[in-house]
Structure formats: C-alpha cells, structure tokens
Amino acid sequence: MSTELFAVVRNDEEQHSVWFAGRQVPAGWWPVGFEGSRQECLDHIAQIWTDLRPLSLRSAQ
C-alpha cells in the first residue's frame, strides 16, 4: 500500500492549502517546505495558519 505524499503551499494572501508533492504548484502558490501525508499537512496548516483572514484584509484593518 503506497501513501501519497503532499506538500503545504501558500499564496500571496498567506492562505494555505495542500498540494500533491512532486507536482508543479499552480500559478500564484509556493511550497512552504513541509511535506507529509494529507493529514499531517492539514495538521501543520492548523498550527501555522491561525488567522484565516487574507493578508489584504488583515493589512486594511
């Protein structure tokens, strides 16, 4: 049984998502340097992305 590897990615608004490791990241997104199972990536995002508002909204307030 193979376990698919995922990567945590982030965009300019500092929003995070999970993407397939080893595949080209969509335009506007960049790897943050964390890879693991899908659940490990989601757990990592939950730890680092505590303010879900986009950067532009946070900056305007």
Structure confidence by residue, pLDDT tens digits, 1-56: 568 999 999 999 999 999 999 999 999 999 999 999 999 999 999 999 998 888 88
pTM above 0.95, yes or no: no
How far is Cα 34 from Cα 60, in angstroms, rounded to an integer? 29
More confident residue, 21 or 57: 21
Q: Where are the domains of the chain?
A: 6-49
Q: Which two tokens stand for residue 50?
A: 């505590």
From the CB of residue 7, how many other CB atoms can be counted at a distance below 10 Å?
20
How far is Cα 3 from Cα 59, in angstroms, rounded to an integer? 39
- CATH T-level assignment (fold) for domain 6-49: Rubredoxin-like (3.90.820)
More confident residue, 57 or 32: 32
